[in-house]
Structure 1
Amino acid sequence: MRKLKLQMQMTIDGFVAGPNGEQDWVLLAKPDELGFQKVIELADSCDTLLMGRKMTKGFIGYWENLADNEPDNPARPLAQLIVNMRKIVFSRTETFIAGRNVEVENGDLATVVRALKKEPGKDIMVYGGADFVRSLISEDLIDEYFIVRNPVAIGNGLSIFNDRKKLELVDSITFKNGKILNKYLPV
Structure 2
Amino acid sequence: MRKLKVQMNISLDNKWDSGMSNFSLDNLKDVDCLLHGRKTGEGFIPYWAEVANNANDTEHKLGKRFSEIPNVVFSNTLTESKWENTTLIKGDLQREIEVLKNKNGKTIMVYGGDSFVASLIEHDLIDELYLLINPATIGNGQQTFNPLKKDLKLKLVKCSPFDSGTVVLCYTR
Equivalents in 2 of 1:168, 1:99: separation in Å? 41
Sort the Cα spacing of 1:65 and 1:91 in 2 relative to 1 into closer, same or farther, 3 A: same
Q: Is the CA contact 2:37–2:74 (under 8 Å) kept in the aligned structure 1?
A: yes
Equivalents in 2 of 1:102, 1:168: separation in Å? 38
Sort the Cα spacing of 1:42 and 1:168 in 2 relative to 1 into closer, same or farther, 3 A: farther
Q: Is the CA contact 1:43–1:78 (under 8 Å) kept in the aligned structure 2?
A: no
Please report the RMSD computed on the Cα atoms of aligned residues, expressed in angstroms: 2.6
Q: CA deviation at 1:128?
A: 2.3
Counterpart in the other structure of 1:53: 38
Q: Is the CA contact 1:84–1:100 (under 8 Å) kept in the aligned structure 2?
A: no
The partner residue of 2:51 within 63, 66, 70 is 66
Q: Is the CA contact 2:9–2:112 (under 8 Å) kept in the aligned structure 1?
A: no
Equivalents in 2 of 1:130, 1:62: separation in Å? 19
TM-score norm. by structure 2 comes to: 0.75
Q: CA deviation at 1:97?
A: 2.0
Counterpart in the other structure of 1:7: 7
The one-letter amino acid paired with 1:6 is V
Equivalents in 2 of 1:35, 1:53: separation in Å? 24
Asked if residue 122 in structure 1 is aligned to residue 106 in structure 2, the reply is yes
Sort the Cα spacing of 1:168 and 1:43 in 2 relative to 1 into closer, same or farther, 3 A: farther
Sort the Cα spacing of 1:71 and 1:11 in 2 relative to 1 into closer, same or farther, 3 A: closer
Gaps of 5+ in 2: 137-142, 147-162
Number of residue equivalences: 148
The one-letter amino acid paired with 1:135 is S
The partner residue of 2:24 within 39, 43, 53 is 39
Asked if residue 111 in structure 1 is aligned to residue 95 in structure 2, the reply is yes
Counterpart in the other structure of 1:21: none
Q: Deviations over 1:105-162 (max 9, x none)?
A: 1121111111111222210000021111111111010110000011258347xxxxxx
Describe the SS at the equivalent of 2:28: helix
Give the share of equivalent positions with the same residue, in percent.
36
